[in-house]
Amino acid sequence: MWIVRATVVTPAGMLADGAVEIGYDARGWGRITAVAPTPATLPPDAPVIDAAGLILAPGFIDLQLNGAFGHDFTQRPEMIWSVAAQLPRYGVTSFLPTIITSPAVTARQAQQVLLAGPPPGFTGAQPLGLHIEGPFLNRGKKGAHNPAHLRAPDLAYVRDWSPQTAVALVTLAPELPGATAVIHHLAQQGVVVSAGHSLATYAQAVHGFNAGIRYGTHLFNAMLSLHHREPGLAGALLGDGRATIGLIPDGLHVHPALVKLVWQTAGARLNLVTDAMAALGAAPGAYQLGDFTVTVDETSARLADGTLAGSILSLDAALRNFIQFTGCTLAEALATITTTPAQLLGLAGRKGHIAPGCDADLVLLTPDLQVVKTFVNGRSAECGARNEEYHTNKLTN
Ligand code: ZN
């Protein structure tokens, strides 16, 4: 299949009037086989999508998503695949379903849901493993996590956590007693270890990086504020250089001016996440996040005491917000949700950019960055908000 006449976002820059060829293996799994200027003539039997006037970007990757479309993964891990099927409407082609602090059985169930694989006939975003946020979090920065399930870091508890058992990323508080051994172990297993929901001082955070921490969960939220005499975890994440930094750009979790400052400081180490919860893609109302009921209005999700409890941000809106907040280029903004997360997960050769050999995870966007159509492994998945108008006018298959 060919997608032609698009503005293609490639590692070498924007390719105007570009074409991408997708080849399929025996399982129907699509890889990018060529990226080139649109050829004057195409093989007569090849299916062609005319994407004139559209931008073709790498598929978006969300490293922190608690649920969507009315479903909370911590409450009902079995809903992961059904939510995954609908995520491509936001340009998301892969993601880490996030399990927040809960009894041990919940993470085990979620692992089994991923290891069992998708239901027959599934098309949708690909889960790349779980993000387990907790239970080794600091009580003083619990956010919307149930303190009844928080625990001290415990090697036995995480013994079977690895990418092979569907655990990709773990958020913990590095200052807790016993955390260093857990960080060492998980990092050795190939799990990305993240610092978050933490009261870590600068020195404790750097100690955590030395032990193997390579990510920071939602910078500024649920950690000490940046102070000029005690930079804390936030200052360490910004200054140290070893960690990729997760940030929620909904304009509520972090002030837009600070989003810009973080971008100027961290650049390609910055990774936008949604931290979206069950109400993403659903109407305002009351929803679950783990054990708690969360009140959702048009812009935010909060516990009864006003604490932010995840977001209702979609990843395509995150992209648009980020450009608005920072004034960065589209390619720079895209990197924060494509190449940067792919690299962190060790998938840079397969995901996160448009190049021959990569999985055909692609998003067609309007010039104002609304999602028209998303492809996961070369298969057309759930369509974006702007698909109708472009389907009738522009896309011929
Ligand atoms: Zn959190």
pLDDT digits (tens, 9 = 90+) for 371-388: 999 999 999 886 776 776
Q: Do 36 and 70 sit in the same domain of this protein?
A: no
Q: Please indicate, yes or no, whether residues 119 and 246 belong to a single structural domain of this protein.
A: yes
Tokens 């002030």, residue located:
255
Helix, strand, coil % over all residues of the chain, rounded to 5? 30, 30, 45
273 and 260 both lie in a single domain = yes
Token pair for 94? 């892969």
| Own/partner long-range contacts of 146-153 (Cβ < 8 Å, ≥24 apart) | 146/101, 146/102, 146/290, 146/291, 146/292, 148/291, 149/101, 149/102, 149/103, 149/291, 150/101, 152/176, 152/177, 152/178, 153/177, 153/178, 153/179, 153/181, 153/182
Report the b/e string of 31-52 with b at 16+ CB within 10 A.
bbbebeebeeeeeeeeebbbbe
DSSP 51: -
C-alpha span between 284 and 281 (Å, rounded) = 10
Evaluate whether 200 touches 173 at the Cβ level (below 8 Å).
yes
Binning pLDDT at 50, 70 and 90, where does residue 392 land? very low
Q: Are residues 52 and 66 in the same domain?
A: no
354-365 average pLDDT score: 98
Q: Are residues 123 and 248 in the same domain?
A: yes
Query: Residue 281: what residue type?
Result: G
293 has a pLDDT exceeding 50 = yes
Domain count, the chain: 2
As a whole-number percent, the residues of the chain with pLDDT over 90 amount to 93
What length does the chain have? 397
Whether 285 and 358 map to the same domain: the answer is: no
Centre of ligand 1 from the C-alpha of residue 133, in Å: 7
* Pair (46, 82) in one structural domain: no
What is the Rg, in whole angstroms, of the alpha carbon atoms belonging to the chain? 20
Tell me the per-residue pLDDT of 304-325, one tens digit each, with 9 for 90 and over.
999 999 999 999 999 999 999 9
Task: Tell me the one-letter amino acid at 112.
Answer: Q
| Contact in structure between 233 and 198 (CB atoms under 8 Å) | yes
Average pLDDT (192-201) is 98
Cα(134) to centroid(ligand 1), Å: 9
Residue 45: band (very low, low, confident or very high) from pLDDT cuts 50, 70, 90: confident
Distance 218 CA to ligand 1 centre (A): 7
Q: Separation of 146 CA from ligand 1 center, angstroms? A: 12
Residues 6+ apart with CB under 8 A from 52: 5, 6, 394
> In terms of domains, do 219 and 258 share one?
yes
For 215-257, how does the pLDDT look when each residue is reduced to its tens digit (9 = 90+)? Answer: 999 999 999 999 999 999 999 999 999 999 999 999 999 999 9
User: Is the pLDDT reported for residue 396 higher than 60?
Assistant: no
Two structure tokens written together for 17? 């009037």
pLDDT band at 46 (very low <50, low <70, confident <90, very high): confident
- In this structure, are 201 and 99 located in the same domain? yes
| Predicted local confidence at residue 386, as pLDDT | 72
Ligand 1 mean position, distance from CA 273 (Å): 11
Task: Calculate the CA 151 to chain-centre distance.
Answer: 26
User: Which one is predicted more confidently, 73 or 46?
Assistant: 73
Kindly report, residue by residue over 148-179, the tens digit of the pLDDT. 999 999 999 999 999 999 999 999 999 999 99
Residue 142 CA to ligand 1 centre (angstroms): 8
CATH number of the domain where residue 159 is located: 3.20.20.140
Catalytic residues, by residue number, are: 275
Read out DSSP for 251-293?
SSSS-HHHHHHHHHHHGGGEEE---B-TTTTS-SEEEEETTEE
The H or E element spanning position 335 is: helix 330-335
- Is the pLDDT at 391 greater than 60, yes or no? no
C-alpha angle 372-29-98 in degrees, rounded to nearest 5: 65
Domain that holds residue 367: 2-57+352-393
| Residues 305, 364 within the same domain | no
Looking at the structure, tell me whether residues 179 and 91 fall in a common domain: yes
> Per-residue pLDDT tens for 102-150?
999 999 999 999 999 999 999 999 999 999 999 999 999 999 999 999 9
- Angle of CA points 215, 254, 57, to nearest 5°: 65
Quote the ligand 1 centre to 141 CA distance (angstroms).
Answer: 9
157, 21: one domain: no
Minimal CA–CA distance to 204: which of 182, 222, 186, 230? Answer: 230
Residue 11: give its domain's CATH number: 2.30.40.10
How remote is the C-alpha of 390 from its chain's centroid?
A: 26
Residue 247 Cα to ligand 1 midpoint, Å, equals 11
Determine the Cα–Cα distance for residues 341 and 286; give it in Å rounded to an integer.
31
